[in-house]
Amino acid sequence: MEVTVMGIVIILYLLVCFYVMYFANRKGKSGIAFFLLSFFSSPMLGFLVLLLISTPGKLKKCERCAELVREDAKRCRYCGNENIFFDR
Ligand SMILES: [Zn+2]
């Protein structure tokens, strides 16, 4: 009985760690690094660190498709625009 509960807790813990990894990958960060951080410290900490470092910076507007992209982007992620400069 005790072993079963432990197993469920460990599986849930791993799932949360994997979720942090998945989330990090989607944010363009190292999934493995965040998985290890979550696993060895706490998934909550990994999640918080991820939120802190992935807060979007300033946005600028693409002159071609009018979508907002990151200010430090080299090209527009929506239309691939590389040549036209952006508005602030
Ligand atoms: Zn664009």
Same structural domain for residues 20 and 34? Answer: yes
Q: Measured between alpha carbons, how far is 38 from 79 in angstroms, rounded to an integer?
A: 35
pLDDT, tens digit, 9 for 90 and up, residues 31-66: 999 999 999 998 889 888 888 887 667 788 888 898
CB count in 10 Å sphere of residue 31 = 17
Query: Rounded to whole angstroms, what are the CA distances from 74 to 27, 58, 60, 63, 77?
Result: 17, 14, 11, 14, 9
Q: Measured between alpha carbons, how far is 18 from 39 in angstroms, rounded to an integer?
A: 9
Domain count, the chain: 2
pTM above 0.75, yes or no: no
Same structural domain for residues 51 and 9? Answer: yes
Calculate how far, in angstroms, residue 24's C-alpha sits from the geometric centre of ligand 1.
25
Domain range enclosing 11: 2-55
Calculate how far, in angstroms, residue 73's C-alpha sits from the geometric centre of ligand 1.
11
Calculate how far, in angstroms, residue 56's C-alpha sits from the geometric centre of ligand 1.
18
pLDDT, tens digit, 9 for 90 and up, residues 11-40: 999 999 999 999 888 888 889 999 999 999
Calculate how far, in angstroms, residue 68's C-alpha sits from the geometric centre of ligand 1.
8
